[in-house]
């Protein structure tokens, strides 16, 4: 179970160390088989984090960057972009201790409710063979193409009962 979930605007540089550590928690499990030292892994993670940050800034200049908090403490991040006819979930990530306990699902449900109320579609990208893909499919997302690594997923607005 988890405490009260809230989101607040991301603050840079204040949240910088937390965001880097969060990113590292998602990437470090991929690296042990490479035979790199911890220092080399840290440098790689920093480089990838910086590249991702630049990419998101260029590709989604009007995105909203938020820190997910549980009982007021940082527990993840949510990056979204809203346009006239859609919401794009650019990234959602949680610290390891806050994964698989309903926090992310609750936040996605909030976004889906917002989208349904505004008759907006919702899009995201997920790794082709990721366990997360099943989560998005259960939430009503369907594949809309991909690049061999990522699958574009989309959920059309759902009719709201009267």
For the stretch 98-119, pLDDT in tens is: 999 999 999 999 999 999 999 9
Q: Please state, in angstroms and rounded to a whole number, the distance separating the CA atoms of residues 18 and 23.
A: 9
What is the chain's Cα-based Rg?
Answer: 16
Whether the pTM exceeds 0.85: the reply is: yes
Q: 95 φ, ψ to 5°?
A: -65, 155
d(CA 156, CA 153): 10
Residue 49: CA count within 13 A, CB half-sphere: 19
Handedness of CA 21, 49, 121, 82 (dihedral sign): positive
Cα 125 to Cα 88: distance, rounded to the nearest angstrom: 9
Q: Residues 42-64: pLDDT tens digits?
A: 999 999 999 999 999 999 999 99
143: Cα separation from own chain's centroid: 17
At 132 the pLDDT is 86
* Of 131 and 139, more confident: 139
Whose CA is closest to 96, among 79, 80, 76? 76
Asked if 68 contacts 94 with a C-beta cutoff of 8 angstroms, the reply is: yes
Residue matched to tokens 């480089």: 47
Residue 160: the pLDDT is 65
Task: Please determine, looking at this structure, whether the domain spanning 5-155 carries the CATH number 3.40.50.720.
Answer: no
pLDDT over 60 at 75, yes or no: yes
Domain boundaries, the chain: 5-155
pLDDT of 14 above 90: yes
162: pLDDT strictly greater than 60:
no
């Amino acid at each position: 179970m988890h405490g009260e979930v809230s989101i607040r605007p991301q603050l840079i540089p204040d949240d910088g160390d937390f965001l880097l550590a969060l990113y590292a928690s998602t990437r470090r499990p991929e690296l042990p088989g490479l035979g790199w030292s911890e220092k080399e892994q840290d440098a790689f993670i920093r480089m990838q984090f910086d590249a991702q940050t630049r990419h998101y800034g260029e590709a989604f200049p009007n995105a909203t960057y938020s820190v997910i908090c549980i009982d007021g403490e940082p527990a993840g991040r949510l990056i979204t972009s809203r346009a006239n006819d859609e919401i794009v979930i650019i990234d959602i990530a949680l610290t390891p201790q806050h994964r698989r306990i309903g926090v992310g699902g609750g936040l996605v449900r909030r976004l889906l409710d917002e989208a349904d109320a505004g008759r907006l579609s919702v899009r995201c990208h997920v790794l082709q063979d990721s366990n997360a893909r099943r989560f998005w499919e259960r939430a009503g997302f369907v594949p809309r193409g991909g690049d061999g690594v990522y699958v574009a997923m989309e959920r059309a607005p759902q009719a709201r009962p009267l």
